[in-house]
A and B are shown apart, each in its own frame.
Chain A
Amino acid sequence: MSQLRFWSFQAIIIFVLGWLASNGLGDYPQTILALAGINIILAVSLNLVNGFTGQFSMGHAGFMAVGAYVGASWTVYFMPLLGTSWTTDALLSQFSMLSALIMGGIVAGLIGILVGIPSLRLKGDYLAIVTLGFGEIIRIFILNIESIGGARGFTGIPRIANMYWIVGGVILTCIFIFRIIRSIPGKEFMAVRDDETATQAMGLSTTRIKVRSFVIAAFFAGVAGALFAHYYAYLNPSTFTFSYSFQVIAMVVLGGMGSLSGSIAAALLLTVLLEVLREAQTYTYYDFRMVLYALILIIIMLKRPSGLFGRKEVWTWFARKKESA
């Protein structure tokens, strides 16, 4: 019964926030908010690998690209086989959207297994370089497939994702990742971060744990990609370069490695900041945007080296307040 209550509560939140976002905002703020939502999914899932498991992955945009292109191909090439109404009808297209999200996530997760098994035997810098390389391989691969647009970009994707999907994706991702890290198998991720030798001595295969965390992160990156594809209705391989991966890493580090609420806050902050700086640019002659962006990052990291939230979550802070009061 409490399950039913919990999920209906979530459904109401998703509906209310989704409604507010799609009706209370203009087109431009709404687009930014959608991007912020997608970035939250990316940052929260990457935090599982980089923050909680202590492995440095630099290829998150690659998995997002897999999800985006697989999800888009699914609705462009596969769903019409069942009848054109699956992408044009208001209700039926929502089922296509759901299946595209799941397909995008699953294929990205499978690629995650392929990439993870060989590369997660490496540590530190080496792992970072290998994941960076794999991210680029995925992008170059997509760049050379003509049927999904190649370098020209993938057009003709039905615009079937809306703010409800984005808000729903964000909330579900946060709930799932939070539940994973709070479960007993989820604590194994943090055990690997703290001491690999001891984790092995407890009878746990560290490679398996790392691959597991990598695959879960890749799945959600794929979901974020599929959302991205169907919200903006256009994909281009140049979106998913190393610099996107790096932006997501910046969000994770800035929010605090090992803090989900930190990742959420940082993803919102950085996405909005980049857009606000774009506005500010109209008043100055030169392109100060990236300079200011970098400067703000440097200042925050100097003032708070372990990120905005460190390893703490917002709710634990509130709980302590209540106790002391």
Chain B
Amino acid sequence: MRALEIKNLSISFGGLKACQNVSLHIDERELVGLIGPNGAGKTTLFNLMTGIYKPTEGHVSICGIRTDRMRPYQITNECRAARTFQNIRLFKDLSVLDNVLVSSHLKVDYGLWDVLFSTKKRQDSEARIEGEARKLLDVFGLDGKRDELARNLPYGEQRKLEIVRALCTKPKLLFLDEPAAGMNDEETAQLMKLIKFIRDEYQIGILVIEHDMKFIMGLCERIYVLDHGQLIAEGRPEEIKKNPEVIKAYLGEEAA
């Protein structure tokens, strides 16, 4: 079963066709990139996959479940797909640990009664969930900062925390929206290692949207190129590099 399958997906806003007839797929445990020049429709496609927009035509299925009529939270819960955001969206006034705890909500097995009377069930359950969350934070080197407010973390760690938070929903498919935006070369190199580590450690499919060519070429196993709402190329990084259509889209007619 494929982690993600999109068939003939189209969406139009009034007369503007933001995505036309896009078909793509991600296999289990595959690391796939999605690139394209500005305004190519990458973010629109991303929003279609995560349920923020409803497609005009075609369908999306994640882990074999059709998602194009689901709400965003249902997609995360029922299809096990998590995402990060281009402009970091952490719970800024919660601590690092609380950010991760909020996304551990599926592990909560106690009810209102247990909360009000602070029963043993609640205490045990919270201790267990907190332990698991701290273990996860520890893997990413954030456990030492668990009591700090998310807004006070340095930029790179905020990005990292956003990924950890997404991982805490136990996804089988992870969407990363421009994870390297605003990072310097050294941070980008670390992030590449981190994403590969996540794929190997948690055995999940990952889709990365990115502008940074070097980043995506070094990271992904397969790349899709989007331009004017249509897929213009698909293939391994070295194939994409040589593809005349792609060069044309990025550098213009002359260069090709």
Chain A interface residues toward B at CB < 8 A? 3, 176, 179-180, 183-188, 190-191, 193-195, 197-206, 311
Contact = CB atoms under 8 A, between A and B. Distances in A.
Contacts of B126: 183-184
Given A180-B116, A183-B122, A199 B102 contact: yes
Contacts, number: 92
A201 B74 CA distance: 9
Given A188-B102, A202-B102, A204-B105, A179 B93 contact: no
A200 B72 contact: yes
B105 A188 contact: yes
Contacts of B98: 187, 190
Give the 9 A-B CB pairs with smallest separation, nearest first: A203-B76, A198-B89, A194-B91, A203-B77, A202-B103, A200-B72, A183-B115, A191-B102, A200-B73
Contact of A186 (B73, B74, B115, B119): B115
Given A200-B73, A201-B72, A203-B103, A185 B94 contact: no
A138 to B, nearest CB: 25
Interface of B: 50, 71-74, 76-77, 82-83, 85, 89-94, 98, 101-106, 108, 115-119, 122, 126, 129, 165-166, 169
A184 B105 contact: yes
Contacts of A198: 85, 89-91
B71 A205 contact: yes
11 contacts: A3-B118, A179-B118, A184-B104, A184-B108, A187-B102, A194-B91, A200-B72, A201-B166, A202-B165, A202-B169, A204-B105
Nearest to B150: A194
B94 A311 contact: no
B76 A202 contact: yes
Given A187-B101, A205-B73, A194 B108 contact: no
B82 A201 contact: yes
> Which of B50, B85, B102 counts the most A-chain CB atoms under 10 A from its CB?
B102
Contacts of A180: 115-116
A176 B114 CA distance: 11
A188 B98 CA distance: 9
B40 to A, nearest CB: 22
B50 A179 contact: no
A194 B116 contact: no
A194 B103 contact: no
A197 B90 CA distance: 10
Contacts of B119: 3
A201 B115 contact: no
Contacts of A176: 116
A193 B102 CA distance: 13
Contacts of B115: 179-180, 183, 185-186
A203 B166 CA distance: 10
A161 B104 CA distance: 43
B101 A184 contact: yes
A185 B102 CA distance: 7
Contact of A191 (B50, B94, B118, B169): B94
